[in-house]
Amino acid sequence: MDKSCFPLSIRPGHGLFSISLAITILAVTVFLLSDLAYARQSSKINRAEASYRQAMASYKRLASNRKLRKDRKAWNQVINRFRHVYLKYFEDEKVAPKALYMMARCYRELYGYSTSRKDLNASIERYQVLAEKFPEHYLADDALLTLGDYYKSTGKIRLARESWERIIAEYPSGDQARSARSKLKTLHPDRKRKTASYSKSGGERGPSTYSPVVPPRISSSRPAHIRDVRHWSASDYTRVVIDASGPVSFKKGYLAANRTKKLPKRFYLDLKPAQKDKKLKKNIEINDGLLKNVRLAQYRPDTVRVVFDLGKTGKIKAFYLEDPFRIVVDAFGENYLLGTYCPPPPRKKKPAGSSRKKGAQKISLAQQLGLCVGRIVIDAGHGGKDPGAVGPSGLKEKDVVLKIAKKVATKLKKELNCQVILTRRKDRFLPLEQRTAIANAKKADLFISIHANASPNRRARGIETYFLNFAVDREAMRVAALENATSTKRMGDLRNILNNIMKNTKVNESSRLAGSIQKQLVGNLRKKYSRIKDLGVRQAPFFVLIGARMPSVLVEVSFISNKAEEKRLKNNSYLDRIAEGIVDGISTYVAETQYAFLDQKR
């Protein structure tokens, strides 16, 4: 070969120049790919921002029209525009909080014309969600300032004080800190309470390392009774549930090991105002490796201290649930996340369009890691003394969902070649917190809770799938209240529970799983049945999903309160179709996760 035909810098034999050229080409390629990824991401951000601006334009047109400002229908149209932006881009930490803020503002301005308490409550709920879900956003302190004004105007001085004090503590350099300090001066100072300086036998002193968790509607004059302590254990997971007769606040803390007294490191809860039932044991042995004992004592006249003697515990998590009130404590071993079982890949065909998945849409963390799904827990809702919803002819939800759960389990084993665990195989009662404990103890990769919907409106029909998150509409709150066996009013007060929800790292994956199940379930039923209404994917704070360590969803398969859908739920063929739809949804989710990972590796 004649070397003179090559430029000097890239002639064969000039190794240094060849390497330089290769590095240059690689750098240019990386730059172009990163630029393309940035352009795609920017396009998504621009779409979200554009949708928000369109909603804002509608709001400004309404606000500038004196006649329209008094029209509820016009306000609802604008609110729905912001709601659409929030639900479509709820993962966007810039646009979603702004949409929430404007929903709250619209309801507040509508309240000025309507004077309806319903509008005021709707505004408060959205400000609360904004402050809790997006604490880093610049509008969080604005939401807290307005909430304080609401609380003060309705006589809830303690809540007003907490809102404004939080601004000073968490946003000292924010634009609302000065206003919060001024508003605090308008409140009467708290009266100092006298507290006893002693503890009865069994109490252990120690500094609290956490601020107290204060549920709503605590009666300081009537202490709650601590009635029972229940627990479930696995090799490296334990859940303890403390039952109380009513709401109590609690402080969390740790006590160092004491070799002299032969005491291990301890975790404790101070429950107040509370009294220990005389029949309740002072010492409850667990000895499962994570927790040795749970000990209870009347620490002060109004305080019960619960001490957990720790073993090889890697992490402790505590939160409360209501109706009835109980405190849940989860203990995790150091190796809890290790040893996951992975089966062979699913037998499903590669999803349509998966070859275009690379770079075409946002890839989730689970997809990037190619996390496998080898163990699934299927939960049949209700059971035993809890029948769930009852249809017009007497069909019970607990019976229907158990049949569906068993069908799903059988089909999943065949379809995915994975391990499937049912929370119940017969008609027996299971507390909500035990269902999640089973999924955590078994180290499930997915948790699916199956239910049948009900509504006071007998014509309501359709299918919807929920994942754990804040509820931003009244209907989602109603369904959550129904499944939680609580009231919608109580659901609106669960700020501390919602705080715990937002620490759940599986929200995005749960949303993706819910979308896959909903799509496949509706599509499968529509092949054979008419009038299948798609109510979509929604988010709400379901107790049965709180604390789950894996992607988890709740499926409402049909309305048992609807005469036509109740009749279908008695039909075995219809139940088969439901089960197939749920399985297809899970299979699609698993396949997309694994294929996205393979595409990323190529």
Count of residues in the chain:
602
Above pLDDT 70, what percent of the chain?
Answer: 76
Distance of CA 504 to the CA centre of its chain: 6
* pLDDT for res 76: 92
Q: What is the DSSP letter of 212?
A: P
Torsion-angle region of 443 (φ positive above 0: left; ψ -120 to 50: alpha; else: beta): left
pLDDT tens digits along 574-586: 999 999 999 999 9
Burial track 74-109 (b if 16+ CB lie within 10 A, e otherwise): bbeebbebbbebbbebbebeebbbbbbbbbbbbbbb
Q: What are phi and psi of 464, to 5 degrees?
A: -145, 155
Q: What is the pLDDT of residues 247-295, one digit of tens each?
A: 999 888 888 888 888 889 999 999 999 999 999 999 999 988 889 999 9
Torsion of CA 142, 147, 148, 150, to 10 degrees: 130
Most confident of the following: 119-133, 149-163, 558-572: 558-572
Residue ranges of E strands in 402-551 = 419-422, 446-453, 463-468, 534-540
Q: Which of the pair, 400 or 352, is modelled with greater confidence?
A: 400
Note the pLDDT of residue 93: 81
Q: Which two tokens stand for residue 377?
A: 């827990």
Is the predicted pLDDT of residue 371 greater than 60, yes or no? no
255 within 8 A of 268, measured Cβ to Cβ: yes
- Rounded CA-CA distance 31/45 in Å is 21
pLDDT at 506: 72
**Omega into 172 within 30° of 0, i.e. cis?**
no
H helix or E strand, kind and range, residue 238: strand 237-244
How many CB atoms are located within 10 Å of the residue 54 CB?
13
Q: Dihedrals φ, ψ of 159, to 5°? A: -70, -35
Given a cut of 70, is residue 97 above it in pLDDT? yes
Tokens standing for 82?
A: 């912001």
The residue among 443 and 30 whose pLDDT is bigger is 443
Strands 237-244 and 326-333: antiparallel
Q: What is the CA radius of gyration of the chain?
A: 28
pLDDT in tens, 494-553: 555 555 555 544 777 888 999 999 999 999 999 999 999 999 999 887 888 888 888 999
Q: Which residues are bridge partners to 263 per DSSP?
A: 258
Q: Mean of the per-residue pLDDT values for the chain?
A: 80
DSSP-based three-state secondary structure for 272: strand
DSSP string, 4-53: GGS-GGG-TT-HHHHHHHHHHHHHHHHHHHHHHHHHHHHHHHHHHHHHHH
- Strands in 326-333's sheet, in edge-to-edge order, are 274-276, 224-233, 237-244, 326-333, 313-321
Q: What is the pTM of this model?
A: 0.60
> pLDDT digits over 73-85, tens only?
999 999 999 988 9
Q: What is the pLDDT of residues 178-234, one digit of tens each?
A: 999 999 998 866 443 333 333 333 445 444 445 567 776 676 668 999 999 999 988
Q: Which of 21-35, 221-235, 329-343, 347-361 has the weakest average pLDDT? A: 347-361
Written as six digits, the tokens of 29 are 């390629």
Give the C-alpha separation, 150 to 260, whole Å: 53
Question: What's the token pair of residue 353?
Answer: 């369009």
pLDDT at 478: 77
Residues 6+ positions from 554 with CB-CB distance below 8 Å: 449, 450, 451, 465, 466, 467, 483, 542, 544, 545
- 544 by DSSP, 3-state: which? helix
Would residue 200 be called left, alpha or beta, if left means φ above 0 and alpha means ψ between -120 and 50 degrees?
A: beta
- Sequence-ordered list of residues with C-beta below 8 angstroms from that of 60, at least 6 positions apart, any chain: none
Report how far Cα 471 is from the mean position of its chain's Cα atoms.
Answer: 10
- Residue 179 has a CB neighbour count (10 Å cut-off) of 17
Nearest to 125 by CA among 104, 156, 154, 98: 104
> How many C-beta atoms lie closer than 10 Å to residue 306's C-beta?
25
Exposure of 344 by Cβ count < 10 A (0-12 exposed, 13-18 middle, 19+ buried)?
exposed
3-state DSSP of 80-122: HHHHHHHHHCCCCCCHHHHHHHHHHHHHHHHHHHHCCHHHHHH
- Locate tokens 């390497």: which residue? 19
Distance CA 387, CA 538 (A): 24
User: How many angstroms separate the CA atoms of 481 and 557, rounded?
Assistant: 17
Tell me: pLDDT of 368 over 50.
no
Q: Answer yes or no: is pLDDT of 487 > 70.
A: no
Tens-digit pLDDT profile for residues 382-422: 999 999 999 999 999 999 999 999 999 999 999 888 899 99
Residue type, 363: I
The answer on pLDDT for 10 being more than 60 is no
Matching residue, tokens 């609302």: 176
Report all structural domains of the chain as residue ranges with CATH numbers, in order of start: 39-137 (1.25.40), 224-333 (2.60.40.3500), 373-593 (3.40.630.40)
d(CA 151, CA 155): 6
* Bond before 212 cis per omega within 30 degrees: no
Rounded Cα gap, residues 539 and 87, in angstroms: 9
Q: Which of 34, 157, 150, 52 is nearest to 94 (CA)?
A: 52
pLDDT digits (tens, 9 = 90+) for 488-504: 445 445 555 555 555 54
CA angle 162, 166, 168 (to 5 degrees): 125
Written as six digits, the tokens of 422 are 């049912």
The answer to whether residue 477 scores a pLDDT higher than 50 is yes
Number of C-beta neighbours around residue 139 at 10 A: 18
Task: Give me the mean pLDDT over the 151-171 stretch.
Answer: 86
Encoding tokens for residue 497?
A: 């529970």
Strand partners, 421: 377
